[in-house]
Amino acid sequence: MKMRAFILFMLIISMGCASTPRKPAVPPAPIFYPPLPQRPRLEFLHSISGENDLGKKQSAFQEFIFGKRRDRLLGKPYDVAACKGKIYIMDRMYKKIVIIDLIGKKMSFLNDHGNGSLGDPAGIWVSEEIKYVADMQRKQVVAFDKNDHFLRTYGSKEIFEKPVDVAVDGKRIYVVDMDKEQLFILDRDTGQVMKVIGEKGMFFKPSHVTVGPSGNVFVTDDLHFVIKKFSPDGKFLNAIGFHGDQIGGFARPKGAAVDKNGRLYVVDAAFENVQIFDDQGRILLFFGGPGSNPGSLYLPAGIAIDDNNTAYFQKFATQDFKLDYLVYVTNTFGKNMLNVYGFGHWIGTSLPGG
Amino acid sequence: MMTWKYKISAAAIILIFLSASITSAETSMAPLLSAETAAGSSVPAGTIVGSPHDFRGYLWNRSGEICTPCHAPHKTQILPAPLWDQGLSTQTYIMYGKTRPPTMEAAVTSQPDGMSKICLSCHDGIMAPDAYGGNTGGAAHLFDKDFMGIVQGNNHPISFIYDTALSTRDGDLYDPSTKPSGLTGSTRTVKEDMLFSNRMECASCHDVHNVKAVPGTQLLVKDSAGSALCLTCHNK
Which pLDDT tens digit goes with each residue over A158-209?
999 999 999 999 999 999 999 999 999 999 999 999 999 999 889 999 999 9
Q: In this structure, is residue A326 part of a structural domain?
A: yes
Which residues on chain B are in Cβ contact (under 8 Å) with A35? 87
Tell whether A245 lies on the interface with B, counting CB pairs under 8 A: yes
Q: In this structure, is residue A4 part of a structural domain?
A: no
Q: Compare CB distances from B84 to A34, A225, A273 and report the shortest one's residue.
A: A34
Tell whether B105 lies on the interface with A, counting CB pairs under 8 A: yes
Q: In this structure, is residue A22 part of a structural domain?
A: no
- Based on its alpha-carbon atoms, the radius of gyration of chain B, rounded to whole angstroms, reads 22
Q: Which residues pair with A142 in a beta bridge?
A: A133, A153
CATH of the domain at A275: 2.120.10.30
Q: Compare CB distances from B82 to A225, A285, A290 and report the shortest one's residue.
A: A285
Largest CA distance in chain A: 90
Residues 6+ apart with CB under 8 A from B233: B162, B173, B174, B176, B179, B190
Nearest CA in chain B to A76: B135
Distance CA A162, CA A139 (A): 6
Tell whether A94 lies on the interface with B, counting CB pairs under 8 A: yes
Does the structure show a pLDDT above 80 at A32?
A: yes
- A24 or A353, greater pLDDT: A353
Distance CA B180, CA B186 (A): 8
Tell whether B83 lies on the interface with A, counting CB pairs under 8 A: yes
Percent of chain A, pLDDT > 70?
A: 92
Shortest distance between the Cα of A93 and any Cα of chain B, in A, equals: 6
Distance CA B232, CA B224 (A): 10
What is the number of structural domains in chain A? Answer: 1
Q: In this structure, is residue A140 part of a structural domain?
A: yes
Selected for mutation to probe chain B from A41, A299, A336, A341 (highest B CB count within 10 Å) is A299
Tell whether B59 lies on the interface with A, counting CB pairs under 8 A: yes
Checking B2-6 for CB contacts under 8 A at 24+ apart, the result is B4/A5, B4/A6, B4/A9, B5/A5
pLDDT value of position B110: 60
pLDDT value of position B38: 36
Q: In this structure, is residue A299 part of a structural domain?
A: yes
Does the structure show a pLDDT above 90 at A222?
A: yes
Phi-psi region of A55 (alpha: psi -120 to 50; beta: other; left: phi over 0): left
Does the structure show a pLDDT above 70 at A98?
A: yes
| Among A304, A264, A302, residue whose Cα is nearest residue A121 | A302
Average pLDDT over chain A reads: 91
Judge: A75–B59 Cβ closer than 8 Å, yes or no: no
Which residues on chain B are in Cβ contact (under 8 Å) with A72? 142-143
H or E, element range at A151:
strand A150-154
Selected for mutation to probe chain A from B76, B135, B144, B202 (highest A CB count within 10 Å) is B135
Nearest CA in chain A to B121: A269
Shortest distance between the Cα of A193 and any Cα of chain B, in A, equals: 23
Judge: A269–B18 Cβ closer than 8 Å, yes or no: no
Q: In this structure, is residue A328 part of a structural domain?
A: yes
* Amino acid in position A227: I
Tell whether B11 lies on the interface with A, counting CB pairs under 8 A: yes
Q: In this structure, is residue A327 part of a structural domain?
A: yes
**SS3 (DSSP) at A224:** helix
Q: Are B134 and B151 in contact (CB under 8 A)?
A: yes
pLDDT value of position B135: 42
Tell me which of A235-244, A316-325, B43-52 is least confident: B43-52
- A46 or B185, greater pLDDT: A46
Which residues on chain A are in Cβ contact (under 8 Å) with B58? 204, 223
Judge: B93–A245 Cβ closer than 8 Å, yes or no: yes
Judge: A284–B101 Cβ closer than 8 Å, yes or no: no
Query: Edge-to-edge strand order for the sheet containing A264-268?
Result: A253-258, A264-268, A273-277, A283-288
Tell whether A277 lies on the interface with B, counting CB pairs under 8 A: no
Judge: A247–B92 Cβ closer than 8 Å, yes or no: yes
- A8 or A92, greater pLDDT: A92
Instruction: Supply the DSSP symbol for A350.
Output: P
Residues 6+ apart with CB under 8 A from A288: A272, A273, A274, A295, A296, A297, A300, A329, A339
pLDDT value of position A70: 73
User: pLDDT tens digits, chain B, 236 residues: what are they?
Assistant: 445 555 555 554 544 444 444 333 333 322 322 333 333 345 666 678 878 788 777 766 766 778 888 888 887 667 788 999 888 777 788 887 764 443 333 334 567 877 888 888 888 888 887 665 444 444 444 555 444 333 444 467 778 889 999 999 988 999 999 999 999 889 999 999 999 888 888 899 999 888 888 888 888 999 888 899 999 999 98
Query: Domain range spanning residue A337?
Result: 41-346
Tell whether B188 lies on the interface with A, counting CB pairs under 8 A: no
pLDDT value of position B7: 52
Neighbour tally for B26: CB within 10 Å: 15
Tell me which of A194-198, A229-233, A289-293 is least confident: A289-293
Average pLDDT over residues A125-133: 97
Burial of A320 (C-beta count, 10 Å sphere; 0-12/13-18/19+): middle
Q: Are A309 and A85 in contact (CB under 8 A)?
A: yes
Average pLDDT over residues A46-63: 87
Q: In this structure, is residue A273 part of a structural domain?
A: yes
Task: Name the A residues in 100-139 with CB < 8 Å from any B CB.
Answer: 107, 109, 122, 136
* A&B contacts, CB < 8 Å: 209
What secondary structure does DSSP assign to chain B, as a single string?
-HHHHHHHHHHHHHHHHHHHHHHHHHHHT----BS--SPP--SPTT-STTSTT--TTSTT-TT--SSTTTS-----S--PPPTT-TT---SBPPSTT-S--HHHHTT-TTSPPHHHHHHHTT-SSSSS--S----STT-GGGT-GGGHHHHHTTB---SEE--HHHHHHHSSB--TTTSB---TT--SBHHHHH-BTTEE-HHHHB-TT-SSPPTTSSSBSS--GGGTTGGGTB--
Tell whether B60 lies on the interface with A, counting CB pairs under 8 A: yes
Tell whether B58 lies on the interface with A, counting CB pairs under 8 A: yes
Neighbour tally for A170: CB within 10 Å: 11
pLDDT value of position A4: 56
What secondary structure does DSSP assign to A20-75, as a single string?
S----SSPPPP-EESPTTS---EEEEEEESBGGGGT----HHHHHHH-SPPPPB--
Tell whether B10 lies on the interface with A, counting CB pairs under 8 A: no
